[in-house]
C-alpha cells in the first residue's frame, strides 16, 4: 500500500447512518486497520470496544437514532499510529458532567461506563464540540515497537 501525505498508509472518510449496523461497520473497519498494523488479539479487542462505545454514544446519545442525522467517521493510519475520529450531529455534551461510574452511589447503575472503557483502552481520548453542531471524539492508539514494549514490561 503506498503512503499518502503525512506518512498515512490508510485513510477512511465515511458518512454513516445513525444505526447499530453502522456501529458494527465502524468497529470492523478499525479492527481491520489495527490488525494490519500488527496489534495483538488483546489490543484489537480493546480498540474494538473503544470504537464500539464511541459509535454507540454518537448513534444513541448524540444522534438519537435520527435517520436525518449522520455519523462522521474517519480513520487515519500511519505505520505506528491509528487515529479515529467519530462525530455526531447531536446537541453536544460536557464530559465533566457525566457521572463518575466508579463512585459508590453509581456503581450499580445500569449505564454510564462507556467513557471509562474508552479512556482505559486508548492512548488518547479527546472530546470536543463539532462545528456546526454535535460532538467530535478523537481516539488514538500507538503501536509500541517490540524493543520499547519489552523495556516497559
Partner 1 sequence: MSVKLTTRQVGDVTVVDAAGRITLGEGAITFRDSIRDLASKGNQKILLNLGEITYIDSSGIGELVSGFTTVRNQGGALKLVGLTKRVQDLLQITKLYTVFDVYDDEATAVRSFA
- Contact residues toward partner 1 (CB under 8 A) are 20, 23, 42, 45, 49, 52-53, 56, 60, 101-102, 107-111, 113-114, 116-117, 120
Cell of 146: 517490540
Phi, psi values for residue 14, rounded to 5°? -135, 150
Q: Mention every residue, 6+ apart, whose C-beta is less than 8 A from residue 25.
A: 16
**H or E, element range at 69:** none
Q: Tell me if the bond preceding 84 is cis, omega within 30° of 0.
A: no
In angstroms, what is the minimal distance from the CB of 132 to partner 1? 28
The nearest distance, CB 59 to partner 1, in angstroms, is: 9
**Cβ closest to partner 1, residue 54 vs residue 76:** 54
3-state secondary structure of 112: coil
Residue 23 or 77 with smaller CB distance to partner 1: 23
Least gap, CB of 41 to partner 1 (angstroms)? 10
Closest CA to 90 of 55, 112, 59, 50: 59
Minimum Å gap between C-beta 14 and partner 1 is 20
Amino acid at each position: 500500500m503506498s503512503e499518502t501525505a503525512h506518512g498515512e498508509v490508510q485513510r477512511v472518510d465515511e458518512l454513516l447512518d445513525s444505526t447499530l449496523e453502522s456501529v458494527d461497520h465502524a468497529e470492523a473497519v478499525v479492527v481491520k486497520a489495527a490488525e494490519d498494523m500488527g496489534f495483538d488479539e488483546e489490543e484489537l479487542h480493546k480498540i474494538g470496544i473503544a470504537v464500539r462505545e464511541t459509535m454507540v454514544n454518537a448513534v444513541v446519545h448524540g444522534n438519537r437514532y435520527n435517520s436525518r442525522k449522520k455519523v462522521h467517521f474517519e480513520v487515519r493510519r500511519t505505520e505506528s499510529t491509528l487515529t479515529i475520529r467519530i462525530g455526531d450531529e447531536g446537541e453536544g455534551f460536557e464530559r465533566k458532567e457525566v457521572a463518575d461510574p466508579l463512585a459508590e452511589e453509581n456503581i450499580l447503575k445500569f449505564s454510564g461506563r462507556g467513557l471509562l472503557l474508552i479512556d482505559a483502552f486508548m492512548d488518547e481520548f479527546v472530546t470536543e464540540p463539532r462545528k456546526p453542531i454535535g460532538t467530535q471524539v478523537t481516539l488514538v492508539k500507538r503501536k509500541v515497537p517490540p524493543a520499547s514494549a519489552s523495556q516497559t514490561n
